Structure 1
Amino acid sequence: MSQAEQSMKLELERIVFIGRTFEEYIDMFSLSNEELKGKKILDCPAGACSFTAVGSNNGLNVTACDIAYYYPGDNLKNKGLQDIEHAMEQMEKSKRNYIWNYFKDVEDLKKHRLSALKDCTNHMKKSSESYVPVTLPSLPFNDEEFDLLLSAHFLFMYADRLDYKFHLKTLDELLRVTKEEIRIFPLVDLEGKRYEHLDKLIEYLTIQGCVVDEVKVPYEFQKNANSMLKIIKS
C-alpha cells in the first residue's frame, strides 16, 4: 500500500458513514412527497442517507453533499457496514437512552441503517454526479442554487467539537446556497440537551431577515430529539 493510500485509509477511519432512510427524512423534517415535487433540494451533509437515492428514483431533484464523498463508493460501503456493526453493539449497551416507538428493537434499527446504506451506495454507482464532496463550512454551489436545504444530525449535535463560530459560518453558507427554506434536525446535542447557543443563532437569523420557527416533528428516537429548526428566507 502506497503512502497516499495509507493516508486515505487513515482519514476514512475518522468518518462515520451511517445514514437514515428516505422515510425517516419525511418524518424528521415533517415533509410530504407533494411539497417536494418541483423543488431543487440539497441534503447537507448527507452521509449514507438514502434520501437522495430514493427521492431521485421517485422523480425528485435531490443532490447530496458530504466530506465522505471524497472517497470511493466501495470503500464507503465497507466502512458503512463496519460502522453499523459497531453502532449496534453500542446501542445494545445504551438503548435506555432511546425511545423505541419508531423502531421495534436494535435489530429493526439495524435493518433500517443497512437499507439506507445499500440504497445510497447503489445509487452512487449509477449517479455519482448527485454526490458532491464538500468540506464545511464551504460549499461549491452557486448562490440560491437550491430551493430547499435539509441538514440532519450534524449541526448542533456535535456542539462539543464544533464551536459557535463554525455553526455561524456553516449557517451563512447554507443560507447563501438556498433560495427559499432550510430545515435542520435535531436541535439537541449528543446528550439530548438543547443546543446552548440556539437562541443566539435564532436571533442572528432573524436579524438577517429570516422567519425562524422551532417545529415539533413526528419522529423521536434519541430522547428530546423531536424538533427541527425551520428557516424561511425573506
Structure 2
Amino acid sequence: MFSLSDEVLKGKNILDCPAGACSITAIGNQKGLDITACDIAYYHSVRELEHKGIEDINHAMFQMEKVKEKYKWSFFKTIEGLRKHRKSALHNCVADMVTHPERYIPVTLPSMPFKDNEFDILLSAHFLFMYADRLDYDFHLSTIKEMLRVTKEEIRIFPIVDLEGNRYEHLDRLYTFLHERGCSVEEKVVRYEFQENANTMLVIKKNKPI
C-alpha cells in the first residue's frame, strides 16, 4: 500500500503512525529495518491489547459478511483468509511488543512525544481521511502539522478516501497548506486495493526544514 521496498527503507528511521495492532514494526525490524510504532492503544497492556484485538477482528469479520461486495478479494481471497491475515499480524505485533516494548510508544494524536525531524519517513495507514465523518478538518490539519514536525524527509498516507470510498473532501485545502509550507504533494496509485477506490496514497515530501 505504500509502494516501498526493503532496499528503499534500509538505513532510514521510520515511524508507523498510528500503528495499531499491526505487524509492520515487528516484521520490519526482523528484516533489519529501524521502525518505531505509535498509537493510543499502547496505553493498554500487551495482554489487554491482544484481547481487544481478537474481539475487534471477530466483530469486523461478522460485519464484513454484510458488505463483502464492497471489497476486492484478489489479495485475501475470502473473509476467512482476511481473518487469518489479521490474526497473524496481531500475533506478530504482540510478540514483538513483549520482546521490544521500547519500539511501541503510546500517543494521543495530534500530539507526539518525538523530537523535531526525528524520523526520516512516516507511514500512516487507514486513519487520516478514512474517518472524516468523526474527525474534523482541524484534527486532520493539526495531525499533519505534527507529522511534518517529527519527519525529516517524507510522509506517506494511505488511502485518501473515506469509509464510503469517496475522496477526502478537504484534500485541496490541505494541499494549499502543504504547498505554502514548502512541501511537494503527490497522489500515487498503488497495487494494493481492498476497499473499493482505496488504491491511492498521498506522498508529502519536505523540501526544506519546517
| TM-score normalised by structure 2 residue count | 0.98
CA distance in 2, matches of 1:49, 1:118: 9
For 1:120, give the aligned amino acid: C
What's the counterpart of residue 75 of structure 2? 102
CA distance in 1, matches of 2:84, 2:4: 23
CA distance in 2, matches of 1:100, 1:32: 23
What's the counterpart of residue 154 of structure 1? 127
Moved over 4 A (4+): none
What's the counterpart of residue 140 of structure 1? 113
What's the counterpart of residue 189 of structure 2? 216
For 2:110, give the aligned amino acid: P
For 2:150, give the aligned amino acid: V
CA distance in 2, matches of 1:89, 1:171: 33
For 1:174, give the aligned amino acid: M
What's the counterpart of residue 57 of structure 1? 30
Instruction: Confirm whether residue 42 of structure 1 aligns to residue 50 of structure 2.
Output: no
CA shift for structure 1 position 150: 0.2
SS at match of 2:58: helix
Note the aligned Cα RMSD (angstroms).
0.5
What's the counterpart of residue 180 of structure 1? 153
SS at match of 2:178: helix
What's the counterpart of residue 86 of structure 1? 59
CA distance in 1, matches of 2:129, 2:84: 27
Instruction: Confirm whether residue 197 of structure 1 aligns to residue 209 of structure 2.
Output: no
Report Cα offsets for 1:151-174 as digits up to 9, x if no partner. Answer: 000000010111000100000000
CA distance in 1, matches of 2:19, 2:100: 15
CA distance in 2, matches of 1:223, 1:172: 29
CA shift for structure 1 position 207: 1.1
| TM-score normalised by structure 1 residue count | 0.88
Identity over aligned residues, as a percent?
Answer: 66
CA shift for structure 1 position 102: 1.2
Instruction: Confirm whether residue 66 of structure 1 aligns to residue 48 of structure 2.
Output: no
Unpaired runs of 5+ in structure 2? none
CA distance in 1, matches of 2:174, 2:110: 16
